[in-house]
Amino acid sequence: MRKLIFAAALGVLIAATPALAQTDTRAAYNAAFQEMLNKPTDPATVVRFAQRAEQAGDLKGAIAAYERLLLGDPDQPRVNAELAVLYFKLGLPETAKIYADAVLASPRAAPATREQARQLLADANTQLVRSKFSGDFVLGLQYSSNANSGASGLVLSNGSPVVPSPNVSSSPDWGVIGGGLLHHRYDLQTSDHAAIESDIAFYGTRQFAVSTANVFIVDLKSGPRFDLLADSVDGLTARPFFTGRYVSQHDLPTYWAYGTGVDFGKEISPSTRVTATVLGRRRDFQNNADAPTNDQSSGTEIYGVAGLESQVNSWLTLRAGGSALHYVASVASQSYQEYGGGVTAVAAFTDPIGLNGEQWTVTLGGNVAFAAYDAPDPTVDPSTTRTQRDLVGSLVLTVPLRDSLALVSQATYTDRAASIVNYAYNAATVMTGVSWHF
Please tell me what DSSP assigns to residue 358.
P
Indicate the pLDDT class of residue 21, thresholds 50, 70 and 90. Answer: very low
Q: Mark whether 313 and 417 lie in a shared domain.
A: yes
Q: What is the pLDDT of residue 22?
A: 47
Per-residue pLDDT tens for 32-56? Answer: 788 877 877 788 888 888 888 888 8
Query: Phi/psi of residue 161, each to 5°?
Result: -70, 135
User: What does the alpha-carbon distance between residue 360 and residue 378 come to, in Å, rounded to a whole number?
Assistant: 52
Domain boundary among 80, 111, 127: 127
Indicate the pLDDT class of residue 165, thresholds 50, 70 and 90. Answer: low
Per-residue pLDDT tens for 184-207? Answer: 999 887 878 899 999 999 999 999
Indicate the pLDDT class of residue 4, thresholds 50, 70 and 90. Answer: very low
Look at 371 and 67; give whichever has higher pLDDT.
371
| 3-state class (DSSP) for residue 355 | coil
Q: Which is it for strands 387-402 and 405-418: parallel, antiparallel or unpaired?
A: antiparallel
Indicate the pLDDT class of residue 224, thresholds 50, 70 and 90. Answer: very high
User: What does the alpha-carbon distance between residue 26 and residue 125 come to, in Å, rounded to a whole number?
Assistant: 34
Q: DSSP strand E in 45-194: where?
A: 131-144, 155-157, 160-162, 173-187
Work out the average pLDDT over 222-226.
96
Q: What is the pLDDT of residue 49?
A: 85
Q: What is the pLDDT of residue 12?
A: 43
- Lowest mean pLDDT: which of 24-33, 340-349, 408-417? 24-33
Q: Mark whether 115 and 138 lie in a shared domain.
A: no
| 238 has a pLDDT exceeding 90 | yes
Task: Report yes or no: 228 and 234 within 8 Å, Cβ to Cβ.
Answer: no
Q: What is the pLDDT of residue 122?
A: 85
Question: How many structural domains compose the chain?
Answer: 2
The range of the structural domain enclosing residue 97 comes to: 2-127
- Lowest mean pLDDT: which of 71-75, 181-185, 271-275, 380-384? 71-75
CA distances from 425 to 104, 173, 193, 391 (A): 63, 15, 48, 11
Q: Mark whether 269 and 405 lie in a shared domain.
A: yes
User: What does the alpha-carbon distance between residue 346 and residue 291 come to, in Å, rounded to a whole number?
Assistant: 40
Look at 69 and 201; give whichever has higher pLDDT.
201
Q: Mark whether 202 and 310 lie in a shared domain.
A: yes
Domain boundary among 71, 100, 127: 127
Of the candidates 349, 364, 326, 333, the residue with the CA atom closest to the CA atom of residue 400: 349
Work out the average pLDDT over 328-345.
97
Task: Report yes or no: 335 and 297 within 8 Å, Cβ to Cβ.
Answer: no
Domain boundary among 127, 151, 173: 127
Q: Mark whether 100 and 147 lie in a shared domain.
A: no
Q: What is the pLDDT of residue 18?
A: 40
* Virtual torsion, Cα 51, 55, 61, 67, nearest 10 deg: 30
| 166 has a pLDDT exceeding 90 | no
Q: Mark whether 117 and 142 lie in a shared domain.
A: no
Look at 224 and 77; give whichever has higher pLDDT.
224
Work out the average pLDDT over 298-306.
98
Look at 373 and 193; give whichever has higher pLDDT.
373
Q: Mark whether 426 and 355 lie in a shared domain.
A: yes
Rg (CA), the chain: 27
Indicate the pLDDT class of residue 153, thresholds 50, 70 and 90. Answer: low
pLDDT averaged over every residue in the chain: 88
Q: Mark whether 255 and 239 lie in a shared domain.
A: yes
**Sign of the four-CA dihedral 322, 237, 300, 414:** negative
Q: Mark whether 372 and 290 lie in a shared domain.
A: yes
Task: Report yes or no: 347 and 316 within 8 Å, Cβ to Cβ.
Answer: yes
Q: Mark whether 149 and 229 lie in a shared domain.
A: yes
Helices then strands, counting H and E runs in the chain, come out as 7, 16
User: What does the alpha-carbon distance between residue 330 and residue 312 come to, in Å, rounded to a whole number?
Assistant: 46
Q: DSSP strand E in 173-298: where?
A: 173-187, 195-207, 215-227, 236-249, 252-269, 272-285
Q: What is the CATH number of the domain that holds 110?
A: 1.25.40.10
* Contacts of 334-337 spanning 24+ positions with Cβ under 8 A: 334/296, 334/297, 334/299, 334/373, 334/377, 335/299, 335/373, 335/374, 335/375, 336/371, 336/372, 336/373, 336/374, 336/386, 337/371, 337/372
Q: Mark whether 174 and 279 lie in a shared domain.
A: yes
Of the candidates 422, 424, 423, 426, the residue with the CA atom closest to the CA atom of residue 163: 422
Per-residue pLDDT tens for 111-150? Answer: 888 899 898 888 888 777 778 899 999 999 999 999 988 8
Q: Mark whether 117 and 195 lie in a shared domain.
A: no
Q: What is the CATH number of the domain that holds 276?
A: 2.40.160.40
Look at 84 and 345; give whichever has higher pLDDT.
345
User: What does the alpha-carbon distance between residue 374 and residue 333 come to, in Å, rounded to a whole number?
Assistant: 6
| 107 has a pLDDT exceeding 80 | yes
Q: What is the pLDDT of residue 20?
A: 38
